[in-house]
Amino acid sequence: MKEQLIDRLKQKQSKIAIIGLGYVGLPLAFTYIDAGYQVLGVDIDKDKIKQLLRGQSYIPRITEQQLLSALDKQLECTSDISCVTEADAIILCVPTPLSKYREPDLSFVTLTVESLLPHLRVGQIVSLESTTYPGTTEEVLKPALEMSGLKVGQDIFLAYSPEREDPGNERYTTRTIPKVCSGMTPACLEVAIALYEQAIDTVVPVSTPATAEMTKLLENIHRAVNIGLVNELKIVAEKMNIDIYEVIRAASTKPFGFVPYYPGPGIGGHCIPVDPFYLTWKAREYGLHTRFIELAGEINGAMPNWVVRQITKALNDRYKPVKGAKILVIGLAYKRNVNDVRESPSIIIMEKLRERGAQVAYSDPFVPKFPLMRKHQFNLASTELHAETIKSFDCIVIATAHDQIDYELLQQHAQLIIDTRGIYSQVADNIVHA
């Protein structure tokens, strides 16, 4: 059974089913398509499926031409999960958010597995790529899959391989980013390696799924903690009238023992604001309190408040109150050159300014209209940046440093710029670093 599956994967005779066609699943689907596989793309969002079938890509890296070509030959998009019976490999790329109590919400994973059970068969591999706490694969997925009557490691194979996507990063692709890979049993690991090494340049096997789960958390906690550190240092440096960006540039000349991290208005996206809390929640099961991780989360979460205070102070220094002020936020996305607004600090800043009576607008070339969101509502479209438009705002806040923004035009015509990303290194009367 195992050998037959491995052989089919290596010969590229297998269909690959990818469940969840978001920022992780869709690029992964195209990585397998480029490697020569037939791919079944599954998503419960019927509007997303309709958009894909029309040839409209919502991932900037995937062009309309690539999508239409794939649909013609290698890609089938559907909301019908029963199609997974045709596939030898089923890869889960579904969300793993936090609940309102900042506890892991695995409902997307568990509901997806429940819906898979009637359609599983002998000789398949199921691999989870969603970020989660150590123990999820063994404690949640394995017993859930075995409710089908299939035994993991003999009839069906189970793997965990955390996604490492970095939207907007042109240097690395899904194929070129090394892939950490684990299996529930030695046989599962063999099959998992065969699944991934056909499409990914470098596969990094580890001993257990818990190791792989912890690896992903370490990667993002490492970033969260260091971003928290440099955000705190930014506040200290501002009080001391020191340019934190000049400090970082100088420290970066050290050829060993230092890695530069940069401050900002807060953290966003699905990973950095969420993943650390998966570990802090699991650690409590062992009677441990992860104080260092939680402190970093507290510092990063407070940055939008600090930015709003800096905006208020800068306006007050110019004899203008926040109430009634026209304020334009540059960048709605959580990071540069992407259209992802999940957990974006820009939105938090906009809400806090609106609460204080400001007239808020935004400009983002990647987000033409404020999206429908459960937590946040703004009836806004992106403002085009022209000289007269820029002059009409009392304050412009650079929250996301997209490459497409004309920062020279902003400086020439803005009454006041609050720079949270270190765009401007020079001193100017209309620029305040925050």
Contact 353, 327 (CB under 8 A): yes
Nearest to 54 by CA among 37, 71, 31, 42: 71
Q: Do you know the residue count of the chain?
A: 434
Write down the catalytic residue from 77, 181, 271, 395: 271
**β-strands 38-42, 124-128 pairing:** unpaired
Residues 164-168: contacts with CB under 8 Å, at least 24 apart: 164/216, 164/219, 165/23, 165/24, 165/27, 167/23, 167/59, 167/60, 167/61, 167/335, 167/338, 167/340, 168/60, 168/335, 168/336, 168/337, 168/338
Per the structure block, which two tokens stand in for 167? 């939207």
Q: Would you call 181 a catalytic residue per the annotation?
A: no
Question: Exposed/middle/buried for 427, CB within 10 Å: 0-12, 13-18, 19+?
Answer: exposed
114: number of Cβ within 10 Å: 11
- Name the packing angle between helices 275-284 and 209-239 (round to 10°): 110
- Cα–Cα separations (whole angstroms), residue 387 to 71, 90, 406, 412, 413: 43, 52, 11, 8, 6
Contact 99, 20 (CB under 8 A): no
Contact 299, 236 (CB under 8 A): no
Max Cα–Cα distance, the chain, nearest Å: 76
Cα separation of 74 and 29, whole Å? 10
Cα separation of 191 and 9, whole Å? 9
Query: Which residues are identified as catalytic?
Result: 271
